[in-house]
Structure 1
Amino acid sequence: MSEPMLEGTGCSMHEPYALQVLGPDMEPEFPDKCVVIVEPTEQCRSGMYVFVEVEGVRWFRQYRRDDQGREWLLALNERFPEIELTGLEWKVLGVIIQRNIRRRIKHYEYRDAEGGSSSAPATQVNAVDITHQGA
């Protein structure tokens, strides 16, 4: 059985889609078996949670770029190594816009950070828990 493809044509390939997180790489923010919603895009900024393909392997990580232009992918769980992107073939498949843990929903919005430095991401993540709103 072949691996499912995300490529295609038509408007359906421009709609958000859901993926299940497998493993502890992005804990504690994105625990094993939680569901994330991915907004398809080929663009990202430092600090965004992204779904990317690196050398034919797909990853869910946080994208970082420093003042010198170095790029890498970070797991939130420090037990997992960062992935240096310099010299590798890679592309962004989408950015994470929502997380669902046992029906607790959290939205992620990205905005440019003010007065950024090389240690701080150029993008601030605004996460909003909407689980009990309007209930």
Structure 2
Amino acid sequence: MSEPMLEGTGCSMHEPYALQVLGPDMEPEFPDKCVVIVEPTEQCRSGMYVFAEVEGVRWFRQYQRDEQGLEWLLALNALFPAIELTGLDWKVLGVIIQRNMRRKIKHYEYRDAGAASTAAPAPIEAVDITQQGA
């Protein structure tokens, strides 16, 4: 994924920005060379697609938190290993809210998939709000 300049201040740092996916890590949902729109935030919940920095390296992955409270960044392509975040210096830079691929746009809205009364935060489901499918 190409890396934007995230340094600086001002309101532009709070506006969504586009990144191009480079590589097969997040296929099939996010194919190589598709464009994603990132909503800047430092918070995420299990199931969200995120742009994160881990030990100074930026990653586009799906954030997961398991029942034991362990946190992971997962590639959708099984050929790429999961990144366990326990003990690492990491932060979320933003969540993916849209994918653009060959003039097809898919929006992501994150909804609670579990009950709020569980001990671990409920996982969320990404929903295509455009009803255009893949």
* Distance in structure 1 (CA, Å) of the matches to 2:130 and 2:78: 25
Q: Which amino acid aligns with 1:105?
A: I
Q: Which residue of 1 aligns with 2:127?
A: 126
* Distance in structure 1 (CA, Å) of the matches to 2:37 and 2:113: 23
- The answer as to whether partners of 2:47 and 2:125 remain within 8 angstroms in 1 is yes
Aligned-residue identity in percent: 80
Q: Which residue of 1 aligns with 2:31?
A: 31
TM-superposed CA distance for 1:4, in Å, is: 5.2
Q: Which amino acid aligns with 1:75?
A: A
Q: Which amino acid aligns with 1:69?
A: G
Query: Could you report, residue by residue, the CA deviation over 1:27-84 in whole angstroms, capped at 9, with x for unpaired residues?
Result: 0000000000000000000000000000000000000001211000000000000000
* Distance in structure 1 (CA, Å) of the matches to 2:29 and 2:11: 31
TM-score, normalised on structure 2? 0.88
TM-score, normalised on structure 1? 0.87
RMSD, aligned α-carbons: 1.9
Q: Which residue of 2 aligns with 1:107?
A: 107
* Distance in structure 2 (CA, Å) of the matches to 1:66 and 1:130: 29
Unaligned runs of 5+ in 1: none
Unaligned runs of 5+ in 2: none
TM-superposed CA distance for 1:110, in Å, is: 0.5
